[in-house]
Amino acid sequence: MASRLFIISVGTSLISKVNELIAEKNCSGVSSRLPVRENDWLNNITQYVWSLNTCLNNINNKLPSLSAELSSLFKDSSYPQPTAADTFLLLHTATTMGEVCADRLAFLLQTKLANQVKVCCYKVPGLSEAQSNEFYSQGLPNLLAKLQQEISQAQKNEQEVILVPTGGYKAIIPYFVIMGLLYDCPCLYVYEDSDLVATLPPLPLHADLARWSSLEAVVETLSGKAKNEAEHFYIYQNLKPILQLLLQEENTSLKPSPLCQVLQEKVTAERRRSELEFRTHFSPLLDYLVKRERENRDDSLKQYFLRLAAIGPHIWKGDRVPEMADHALLHHADIFHLAERILLPIFYFYETKRDGKPFLAPEELFVLLGALHLHDCGHVVGKVDLENSGQHELLPTEIRDHHHVLGYLRLTEPDKHGGTGKWIHEALKDNTPTACKARGDNFWPT
């Protein structure tokens, strides 16, 4: 299993659980309960840390039930259990109790998994008492900034990220869930003493393009402006509740917050995609391009098709007869959806009513989906060479009538039709999966 990054919010339930064990006389050498107020810990931290350590050294067999954070990780065996290969980031409040609990949780994780397991503790600046203004003005924005930084870096390193917002203030849970939605990360959550670890999957909910369009220019206008000046701007006052999340103060000036930056990235990416790109990148049929033999998985065909889908916008350039290319793009998206509506019920029937095997082999499905993706690319060819030299400008009706032949020309004459075909041609040939190369050198146009 590949290494995973668990980002865990830390509360003080460890202290509460240890107090229950002390009350039940299950902590040898410790008879007095640990305090649950921050000021009490500040006044006698050495004694209380000693008492906490004494209890923890004798109750390792109760590990999953020692805290909310550990319950989320180890209580439900149906979810892949953490291993020594995983990395753990413990985000705790800027309090003594939060820091002590995070440090002891790191100790317990290393005790259970291995001393060399990587566990990091991070104090979120400003995330102290939930009643303070600093908690909302600094703590939550700093939490978002840290989540964005760690998730982005882990995903760049192709590391799976799992968010665990069980510990700490309930006010932070929505922020973990939002980042999970935006970055496609699952969240694990245990409600109090429940034995069920709830997995909150990253539902297909993303930035509201229409709503963002109404805020984008406002954010750009206010960026770099002094906050005390912005307070006198009518639009800022009118949108203040949401702008406080999208803008943060730095050196007296406003700048986009980490949440705002994530939204900008997502909106920019989605604005530039055609419906066809959404269809081809996220089709449920792509799961059937993966070869599965016992424990082995070969997803080279799927990755190759995703490569083809990624360069899709370049395919629709060429000589670019706009009305023809636009027609073909919409037609492609419709026909891809139609393929899903037809094929998925057939796959369902074969797997549930017949022998349990998929309706099509991965290679067969790859050829079909590839043909669907490319079959109308001839619509972007606006002129053809004549035998006696010269070129013929094609009418829209001629393009539509002969687009299959024109598609062949688009793929086999990469230097022509706008020149983008050469880049497409080489990019595809250089990444041909082994399964397709085995069919012979003539399988791909040369």
Residues 135 and 40 in one domain: yes
DSSP-assigned letters across all residues of 156-203: HTT-EEEEE--SS-GGGHHHHHHHHHHHT--EEE--TT-S--EEE---
Residues 244 and 192 in one domain: no
Residues 242 and 282 in one domain: no
Residues 77 and 124 in one domain: yes
Tens-place pLDDT, residues 43-68: 888 888 888 888 887 765 667 778 88
Residues 124 and 243 in one domain: no
Residues 168 and 295 in one domain: no
Tens-place pLDDT, residues 244-260: 888 888 888 999 988 88
Residues 283 and 163 in one domain: no
Residues 106 and 226 in one domain: no
Judged against a pLDDT cut of 60, whether residue 328 lies above it is answered with no
Q: How many domains in the chain?
A: 3
pLDDT confidence of residue 392: 80
- Residues in a beta bridge with 278: none
Mean pLDDT for 214-233 is 88
The dihedral through the CA atoms of 246, 249, 255, 257 has a sign that is: negative
Residues 50 and 188 in one domain: yes
Mean pLDDT for 327-355 is 80
Last residue of a domain, one of 253, 271, 289: 271
Residues 430 and 303 in one domain: yes
Judged against a pLDDT cut of 90, whether residue 120 lies above it is answered with yes
Average pLDDT, the chain: 80
Residues 282 and 196 in one domain: no
pLDDT confidence of residue 42: 83
The dihedral through the CA atoms of 354, 355, 358, 363 has a sign that is: negative
Query: Which tokens hold the place of 443?
Result: 């399988």
Residues 41 and 165 in one domain: yes
Mean pLDDT for 11-28 is 85
pLDDT confidence of residue 114: 79
Rounded Cα distance between 250 and 247, Å, is 10
Last residue of a domain, one of 252, 271, 290: 271
Rounded Cα distance between 153 and 168, Å, is 24
Structural domain boundaries, residue 244: 209-271
Last residue of a domain, one of 224, 247, 271: 271
Q: 208 or 67: which carries more pLDDT confidence?
A: 67
